Amino acid sequence: MTVLARTIADLRQARDGWDGAVAAVLTMGALHDGHRELMRAARAHADRLVVTIFVNPLQFGPGEDFERYPRTLDADLAVCRAEGADLVFAPERAEMYPDGLPAVRVDAGPLGEVYEGASRPGHFTGVLTVVSKLFLLTRAHLTFFGEKDYQQLALVRRMVRDLNIPIDVRGVPTVRESDGLARSSRNRYLSAEQRAAALVLSRALHEAAAQSDTQSALATARKVLASGAGVEVDYLAVTDPLLGPAPADGPARMLVAARVGGTRLIDNVPLQLGGVS
Ligand SMILES: Nc1ncnc2c1ncn2[C@@H]1O[C@H](COP(=O)(O)OP(=O)(O)OP(=O)(O)O)[C@@H](O)[C@H]1O
Ligand SMILES: CC(C)(CO)[C@@H](O)C(=O)[O-]
Ligand code: BAL
C-alpha cells in the first residue's frame, strides 16, 4: 500500500514504524520513465521506498518556470503506486517553508557556480538546501539520483561527503526515449517541431562519445548542434567525472545545455579519452 503524506507530522508517523533499509527518491513530480527507473533501482536495494514530490521554489530563479512547472499529483500517485512506493511525501510550500524562504541555506560552493550554476545563479544552493531537508525528514539510508542532472548528482555526493550526512547516494543512468531524447518533465513544453530539433542534443553527445580526444569530441558535437534549427547552445563542455578539468586520458563527461524555443534542456554522456590500453 502507498501512503500519501501531505504534512511532516504524517510523514513521521508513517516512517517511524519502519525497520530495515529505507530508500528515498526525490522529485518535483510530473513523473516519467526516468523517475520510474530511480524507483525500481531503489526498490531493488532497500526494504522501503519513499518518494518525495515538491516543486521547490528556492531553486528557481526570477523569470524561470516555477509557476508553469507541471503539477500532476493524481497521475504521479498512480506511478508511485505502480512502482511499489511505500510512502509519497508531497508537502505544500508552507509545510516546507513555514517562515517564508529559509534564512539558513546549504551553500553549494564553487561547483555550484559553473555550468548550470552559471546560468541559474543560486540554483544549486536551493537544490542542496531542500535535498538536505528531505534527507533529514525521510531519514533514508540510500538515495537514487539521475545522471541526467549530472552536476546535481555530483553536488549531492559532495554535500554528503563534506557534511558527513549518513546516506548512500547512488547514480542511475539517463533514461532516453527510443529516438535518444533524454526523458525530462520539461519535454512536455516542446511542440512537435521543437522536440524534433531537440534531438540534436542527444545526437551530438552520441557522436562525440565515439571520439577519443577532447577537441575532436567538442568539434563533432558543435557541428551536430549547429544543425538544430532554433537550438541555442548555452554551454558545451568536457570535464572529468567530478566536473574538474578535462583529463587527457581516461573517463570524462561531456555536458550540454541548450534552449529550444523557450525551453532549457540539459543532457550529458560519458566519454573515454585517450588511447585504448
Ligand atoms: N531521463 C532521466 N533518467 C534518469 N533520471 C532522471 C531522468 N530525468 C530525471 N531524472 C532524475 O529524477 C530526479 C528528479 O528529477 P526531476 O523531478 O527534476 O525530473 P526532470 O525530468 O529532471 O525534470 P526537469 O525537466 O525539471 O529537469 C532527479 O534525480 C533526476 O536526475
Ligand atoms: C532533487 C530535487 C527534487 C530537489 O528539488 C530536484 O532538483 C530534482 O527534481 O532534480
Ligand atoms: N531537474 C533539476 C531540477 C531543476 O531543473 O530545477
Q: Distance between alpha carbon 179 and the CA centroid of its chain, in Å?
A: 20
Percentage of the chain beyond pLDDT 70 is 99
Is the reported ipTM for this assembly greater than 0.95? Answer: yes
pLDDT tens for each residue of 247-267: 999 999 999 999 999 999 999
pLDDT tens for each residue of 86-111: 999 999 999 999 999 999 999 999 99
Bridge partners, residue 171, by sequence: 145
| Ligand lying nearest the CA atom of residue 66 | 3
What is d(CA 22, CA 27) in angstroms, rounded to the nearest whole number?
Answer: 16
Residue nearest to atom 1 of ligand 3 (CA): 149
Q: Report, as an integer, the average pLDDT of 219-242.
A: 97
What is d(CA 39, CA 62) in angstroms, rounded to the nearest whole number?
Answer: 31
What is d(CA 266, CA 233) in angstroms, rounded to the nearest whole number?
Answer: 10
Sign of CA dihedral 131, 135, 138, 143: positive
- In this structure, what C-alpha cell is assigned to residue 256? 550540454
Best mutation site among 31, 35, 65 for ligand 1 pocket (most ligand atoms within 8 Å of CB): 35
Best mutation site among 25, 143, 149 for ligand 1 pocket (most ligand atoms within 8 Å of CB): 149
Binding residues for beta-alanine: 59
Predicted local confidence at residue 275, as pLDDT? 67
pLDDT tens for each residue of 8-31: 999 999 999 999 999 999 999 999
Matching residue, cell 558535437: 221
What is d(CA 169, CA 140) in angstroms, rounded to the nearest whole number?
Answer: 10
Contact criterion met (CB below 8 Å) for 100 and 57: no
- In this structure, what C-alpha cell is assigned to residue 100? 517564508
48 pLDDT exceeds 50? Answer: yes
Q: Distance between alpha carbon 82 and the CA centroid of its chain, in Å?
A: 22
Amino acid at 34: G
- In this structure, what C-alpha cell is assigned to residue 53? 514530490
What is d(CA 35, CA 276) in angstroms, rounded to the nearest whole number?
Answer: 34
Contact criterion met (CB below 8 Å) for 86 and 2: yes
Number of helices and strands in the chain (H, E): 9, 9
Question: Which residues are part of the catalytic machinery?
Answer: 35
276 pLDDT exceeds 90? Answer: no
What is d(CA 134, CA 139) in angstroms, rounded to the nearest whole number?
Answer: 8
Task: Extract the runs of DSSP E, i.e. beta strands, from 6-141.
Answer: 22-27, 48-53, 87-89
- In this structure, what C-alpha cell is assigned to residue 255? 555536458
pLDDT tens for each residue of 141-196: 999 999 999 999 999 999 999 999 999 999 999 999 999 999 999 999 999 999 99
Sign of CA dihedral 138, 139, 141, 146: positive
Is the CB of 149 inside a 6 Å radius of any atom of ligand 2? Answer: yes
Confidence of residue 277 (pLDDT cuts 50, 70, 90): very low
